[in-house]
């Protein structure tokens, strides 16, 4: 599996955005964000699989 560096950085940037949004919802909405975090991790996992299969 040979992934170019910019693609890896893009992937982690997207991960950071998704998880940061879930965090902000929890902080400002004073609610449990476990479902949002779980969904973000599922999306990131699917993206990783798609990227791996493109290689």
Domain-wise residue ranges, the chain: 6-53
- Rounded to the nearest angstrom, the gap between the alpha carbon of residue 49 and the centroid of all alpha carbons in its chain is 13
Low-confidence ranges of the chain (pLDDT < 70): 1-9, 55
Residue 23: CB atoms within 10 Å: 13
DSSP letter (8 states) at residue 31:
S
Residue 49: CB atoms within 10 Å: 10
Token pair in block for residue 25? 């919802």
Token pair in block for residue 47? 């993206």
pTM of the complete model: 0.55
pLDDT at 36: 79
């Amino acid at each position: 599996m040979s992934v170019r560096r910019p693609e890896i950085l893009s992937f982690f940037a997207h991960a950071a955005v998704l998880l940061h949004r879930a965090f902000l919802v929890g902080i400002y909405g004073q609610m449990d964000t476990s479902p949002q975090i779980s969904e973000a991790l599922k999306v990131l996992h699917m993206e990783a699989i798609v990227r791996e299969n493109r290689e």
